[in-house]
Amino acid sequence: MIVRKEIILNNQKIPYTFRKSRRSRCMRLTIKTDATLVVSVPWLLSRKKAEDFIRQKADWILGKLEYFKNKKTNLPSATRKDYLQYKKLAREIAQKKLEYFNQYYNFKIGKISIRNQKTRWGSCSRSGNLNFSYRIIYLSENLCDYIIVHELCHLGEFNHSKNFWDLVQKTVPEYKKIRKEIKKM
Ligand SMILES: [Zn+2]
């Protein structure tokens, strides 16, 4: 069960996703990189209890939300002109790297699109299409490799399970370190 709710923390209205799960055994707060709050609770726990828990963690939550909101603007800022100019180069890089890394995976790759995305480096659709921000051209090679491999591996595992990370690790063994670097950007 997933519902969207709101809670007031320090006089600020904070939207959050409330998720009840039969599998989870404890309450968990997650702040996603797009600055959204997700609260997962065990099946039998009330929303009131969950909100008490959220209030206890108000400072931590507000701090993290602030951090992720500011972070968005820290990605390489560039104009539409840059996008049009470098789109082709980004596509060539993505295609070449996908071809190279897919030797190890042999996934069926759908359409590849290059977009002018500011907040995401890449994404993958259920139908196997891969999207990348043209901003991958600004990344150092190992970071760019990781972005490519991350989306590529979603063709094998459409989630972030252990199996998924095992796939990533096959060609990017230092992926944990790289993820930290990317998060700091
Ligand atoms: Zn992913």
Residues 67 and 147 occupy one common structural domain: no
Question: What pLDDT sits at residue 132?
Answer: 96
28-31, strands of its sheet edge to edge: 2-9, 12-21, 37-42, 28-31
Quote the ligand 1 centre to 92 CA distance (angstroms).
22
What range defines the domain where residue 11 resides?
Answer: 2-72
Quote the ligand 1 centre to 3 CA distance (angstroms).
23
Quote the ligand 1 centre to 12 CA distance (angstroms).
30
Quote the ligand 1 centre to 52 CA distance (angstroms).
31
Question: What pLDDT sits at residue 25?
Answer: 78
Long-range contacts of residues 49-56, Cβ cutoff 8 Å, at least 24 apart: 50/18, 51/7, 53/27, 53/29, 54/7, 54/9, 54/16, 54/29, 55/7, 55/9
Q: Which of 72, 105, 126 is the last residue of a domain?
A: 72
Residues 169 and 100 occupy one common structural domain: yes
Question: What pLDDT sits at residue 75?
Answer: 53
Question: What pLDDT sits at residue 46?
Answer: 86
Residue type, 90: A
Q: Which of 20, 45, 72 is the last residue of a domain?
A: 72
Residues 88 and 171 occupy one common structural domain: yes
Question: What's phi and psi for 78, nearest 5 deg?
Answer: -155, 160
Residues 52 and 94 occupy one common structural domain: no
Domain count, the chain: 2
Quote the ligand 1 centre to 147 CA distance (angstroms).
9
Whether pTM exceeds 0.85:
no
3-state secondary structure the chain: CEEEEEEEECCEEEEEEEEEECCCCCCEEEECCCCCEEEEEECCCCHHHHHHHHHHCHHHHHHHHHHHHHHHCCCCCCCHHHHHHHHHHHHHHHHHHHHHHHHHHCCCCCCEEEECCCCCCEEECCCCCEEEEHHHHHCCHHHHHHHHHHHHHCCCCCCCCHHHHHHHHHHCCCHHHHHHHHHHC
pLDDT in tens, the chain (185 residues): 888 889 999 888 899 999 888 877 788 888 887 778 989 888 888 888 889 989 998 988 888 888 777 765 445 556 788 888 889 999 999 999 999 999 999 999 999 999 998 888 999 999 999 999 999 988 889 999 999 999 999 999 999 999 999 999 999 999 999 999 988 87
Question: What pLDDT sits at residue 94?
Answer: 96
Q: Which of 72, 102, 118 is the last residue of a domain?
A: 72
